[in-house]
A and B are shown apart, each in its own frame.
Chain A
Amino acid sequence: MSWLITFAAPTTSRRGARGPGRPRRWRQVVIAVAMLVLVGAAFAISGPGHSTQGPSARRSPPRVSDPLAEAGAQWPVFGGTMDNTRFSALDQVNASNARRLGVAWSKDLGPYQTLDESFPLMIGRTLYVTTSTDEVMAFDAVTGKQLWRYAPQVDFSLSRGVGGYGVTVNRGVAVSGSRIFVLTFDDHLQSLSRATGERLWSAQVVSPHTGAYETMAPTVWHGLVFVGSSGSEDGVRGSVAAYDANTGKQVWRFWTVPAAGHGWVKRGQGGGTVYMPPTVDARTGLLYVGTSSPSPTIVGTRRPGADLYSSSILALDARAGRLVWYHQEVAHDLWDYDAESPVVVFDARVRGHTVRAVAEAGKSGYLFVLDARTGKDLFPPRPFVKEHHTPPTRKGVLECPGSLGGAQYGPDAYSPQSHDLYVVALNMCMTLKVTGTVGGYKEFGGTAVPQGVRQTGSISAFDTDTGRFRWHYEVPWPMIGGATATAGGLVLAGDTHGLLYAFDAHTGKVLWKANLGLAFGSAPIVYQVHGTEYIAAAIGGSPLSANFKWGNVGARVVVLKLGGEPIRPYQPPGA
């Protein structure tokens, strides 16, 4: 059954905007005036296991823009390449042999380590993984031997966000030359020696007493380390900043929303935080970030207007921190529809021309594909989950997707072979109810209750040549960790129950799947050493997995290869 409801609403894209303090005038808000433009039905959604696909795939030589990606043997940055495409040029593991995947090695990260959203890196022959307590661990990528472990002393007493229940995860490190960069929960950016894990310097990037906390992996480029922060749910004022990689000194900071008492921001409000690693287009020097929703999250009466630059994609001059353009995905957001997953940069072929493009699949459940230079839509935003929106009320209204998405923080993947973007999703509608102006959960403004017996997931392939989804596959459990594509014609994605899937990139057919025992809170990486291709994942789940009991949670690194050991049922430490 198809559940697509169309709205006509403006999206906002401006070049050279002067700042967030001068929003457009809007009428008194009762009904959200800004939503998303839908044109046409994208696909039909049926039960779990169903795969729909469009025209047969084309194959063309991969258009690779990053020399490291051409080498393909390593995974040196968060998204595989600086463009965040999560594409590996390796093809030893492919559609014809993926069923032979087995375990090369695995390591539990500690009996009390719970949850893991770490996105690993592999450089040289070393695999770098983080734990939820902000430790950085280096392993031999072939044998799994631990080379070193860095355990910072972090003040986790400030893990009182999200309604007081706390969330501590660490999504990985960044590497530049001989140095590693990691963010700690209590808002320190630290530089470590890549060889030994010895700490070189530490800098506080935001004050934890504002409610801000760090979960992201930083991004490094040309001697600058780019960081955002988490905490919009606690009214934190969002920003993205650049730090000198040698000294830890702040070079610039761009605030994504006005200061309290300015523009639309009243005392105690904020939002627009940047949860995931910024993306740098090395060709242009533009830095792309996605921002979260404004606060109070579902109560809009205290923040009339568009609430710039919340729920937006921003393009900044990476060297200067100057805003070049913004594209607000959801103006005056009333649904917690963060644009939080990392922006992907790629070359799209549009009407016979090659266009540098950016894409982001948000919690709104829409995929946005924009001109990377201007922020203008290259295609109309396309839904990849069921959509139904009305402004929240005190009686409660059904919203699809709910305020968890849509797409969560997990990154999309782009294959230059198939020209497809691969988007994982959580299918969950919720009833949103306003409980008071700022009563209850102070900066959320209400409650959000899941509807339906159980939540499911999906993965969809978006054809960047036609601007439409080409195939869509429903899975029994939500997918929130992101996807990875390979030149072997595979799309790899894990779900929150612990299943790792290898999909045929062109058809969406499941070529292989296995239950690795712990929920996926991140996406796999692919690397090669001495002619053997490996697929590695840090598994253990996200707080969502834990709270909804979608699967077992813990913390473990699992590395697969062709002809590896059979995958056995998972035994938790001490069992």
Chain B
Amino acid sequence: MPGKRSPLRYGLSGGGIVVAVLIGLAAAGALSSGGSRPSATGTHQVAKPAAGAVAVHGSPGWSPKTTDYFGLYRLTWSNNPALAQSGQLTLFMRRVTKPKPQTLPSGVISLHGRDGTNVFYLTHLNHVGNRNGAVVNIGNYNYQVAGHLQILDLALSHHRLRASLATDHGPTIDISFSRYSPAFNP
């Protein structure tokens, strides 16, 4: 990508209420993150948000501070080796250009299992109190909502993160990551 990125401050509001993040999934599965639809050859078009778009509860970003989580992680454990024997997680600030130029905290999870490789795109990072979660998309960041991610346990000082990944077409799996680099674009 041209230029070097630096993470922007992402304002958060905290709260003490622990509420599960609820995600409604569209039947067609297409989510617009603001109206712009890219093409394989790089053209932008303005499109309407899909019917039944995802409802995200909670406040934007992760508690206490989203950028604290940024970086590169390796999978260290999962309870489902068929789906996840190894993998990577990247949390970073993603630059988008529609509906307006902005940066959005985002993530990508690649899981390599006996059954193959699956890639999940994390959008709409959110929190309710200190419960952090994200919308999970497949295909790309705004194509199809496939489930949600909930952070179960976090030890940032030890660069560890454990999460639950719940998807439409498969089992909910618990996955643990260890951060090996705080730089998401080394």
Q: Footprint of B on A, CB under 8 Å?
A: 109-115, 117, 131-135, 149, 151-169, 209-211, 215, 232-235, 268, 275, 292, 297, 336, 338, 340, 363, 402-405, 408-409, 430, 439-444, 447-450, 542-544, 546-549, 553, 572-574
Contact = CB atoms under 8 A, between A and B. Distances in A.
A131 B116 contact: yes
Contacts of B167: 112
Interface stretch (B7-15, B17-25, B134-142, B150-158): B134-142
Contact of B139 (A336, A402, A543, A549): A543
Contact of B140 (A135, A168, A363, A448): A168
Given A112-B167, A135-B117, A546-B144, A155 B42 contact: no
A544 B42 CA distance: 10
Contacts of A409: 40-41
A155 B88 contact: yes
Given A151-B112, A211-B2, A442-B2, A336 B95 contact: no
B149 interface: no
29 contacts: A112-B119, A112-B167, A131-B117, A135-B116, A151-B117, A152-B117, A157-B72, A157-B107, A159-B140, A160-B1, A162-B40, A164-B96, A164-B104, A165-B140, A167-B140, A209-B1, A209-B185, A210-B1, A268-B3, A297-B42, A340-B41, A408-B40, A430-B43, A444-B44, A447-B44, A543-B139, A546-B139, A549-B50, A553-B143
A163 B98 contact: yes
Contacts of B43: 233, 297, 336, 402-404, 430, 444, 448
B39 A404 contact: yes
Interface in B82-113: 86, 88, 90, 92, 94-98, 101, 104, 107-108, 110, 112
Given A151-B112, A211-B1, A543-B139, A165 B42 contact: no
Contacts of A215: 40
A169 B2 CA distance: 22
B77 interface: no
Given A112-B169, A135-B116, A234 B1 contact: yes
Given A111-B170, A112-B167, A549-B28, A363 B116 contact: no
Contact of B44 (A151, A235, A448, A553): A448
The secondary-structure label for the interface of chain A is loop
A448 B110 CA distance: 32
Given A149-B116, A232-B42, A546-B30, A157 B141 contact: no
A112 B1 contact: no
Nearest to A337: B41
A309 B156 CA distance: 50
Contacts of B128: none
B92 to A, nearest CB: 7
Nearest to B110: A156
Given A153-B88, A336-B42, A543-B39, 11 more contacts: A151-B117, A152-B117, A155-B88, A162-B40, A164-B104, A164-B141, A275-B41, A449-B46, A542-B40, A544-B40, A546-B139
B86 A153 contact: yes
A433 B108 CA distance: 32
Contacts of B107: 157
A573 B140 CA distance: 19
B112 A114 contact: no
A14 B143 CA distance: 43
A553 B101 CA distance: 28
B170 A165 contact: no
Interface of B: 1-3, 28, 30, 33, 36-47, 50, 72, 86, 88, 90, 92, 94-98, 101, 104, 107-108, 110, 112, 115-121, 138-144, 146, 167-170, 184-185
A164 B45 contact: no
A55 to B, nearest CB: 36
B96 to A, nearest CB: 3
Listed residue (A112, A232, A340, A408) with the most chain B CB atoms within 10 angstroms of its CB: A112
A210 to B, nearest CB: 7
B140 A166 contact: yes
A167 B144 contact: no
Contacts of B33: 165
Nearest to A137: B116
B143 A112 contact: no
A500 B13 CA distance: 52
B41 A164 contact: no
A111 B72 CA distance: 26
A574 B170 contact: yes
B141 A166 contact: yes
Nearest to B142: A165
Contact of B146 (A112, A210, A233): A112
A442 B97 contact: yes
